[in-house]
Amino acid sequence: MTKTANSQKATAEKTFKDAQKTAQDTIEKTVKAAQKTAQDSVKAAQDNVQKAVKEAKGNLDNVVEFSKANYEALVESGNVAAKVAKTVNVDFMANAKKSAEKNASDVKALFAAKSPTEFFKLQTEMFKTRYEDFVAEATKVNEAVTATANEVVEPLKARYEEVATKYKLPLGN
């Protein structure tokens, strides 16, 4: 019985050692698989973070570019308005000088009149000339204001049309 018991004991020990080895191999494989899965998950998370950062940077670059283009359009519009304001101011001053000179000339002519009839005739001609000058100047100013408004608005309009096209917004007329 000792021999049979020893044989059974040896078989049991061998079976136990084989089971232990199989369990240990299984545990090692499971740990390695878990480590591999964890490493893959960390790598995927890092890749996703890098991708998100890259997209965010690209979006930030787009926002900066968009804002810069808006600023440039605004500056261009302001420069046009300033140039026109300067021109209008120069024209206004020239017209004021011309008008003052004409007033002085007209007053001299009125005082040089030899009769009341001549005085009223000169005065009527002066009023008629002044009215015609006023209408001509008003027309000139109106045309300048219309042209200026179009020039000032053009850079802003072009910028809006670009944005509207890019983002599929309605275009104005």
Per-residue pLDDT tens for 67-87? 898 899 999 999 988 888 888
**In this model, does residue 1 exceed pLDDT 70?**
no
Name the token pair of 109: 């002519």
**In this model, does residue 172 exceed pLDDT 70?**
no
128-143 pLDDT, tens digit per residue, is 999 999 999 889 888 8
pLDDT-based confidence at 66, cuts 50/70/90? confident
Mean pLDDT over 53-76 rounds to 85
DSSP state of 112: T
pLDDT-based confidence at 148, cuts 50/70/90? confident
What pLDDT is stored for residue 131 in this prediction? 93
Backbone angles phi, psi at 122, to 5 degrees: -60, -40
DSSP state of 114: S
Task: Write down the residue that tokens 């002519």 correspond to.
Answer: 109
Percent of the chain with pLDDT over 90: 27
Out of 37-41, 112-116, 149-153, 165-169, the most confident range is 112-116
pLDDT-based confidence at 122, cuts 50/70/90? very high
- Residue 77 CB coordination number (10 Å): 19
Chain-centroid distance, C-alpha 103: 52
Task: Write down the residue that tokens 């049979």 correspond to.
Answer: 4
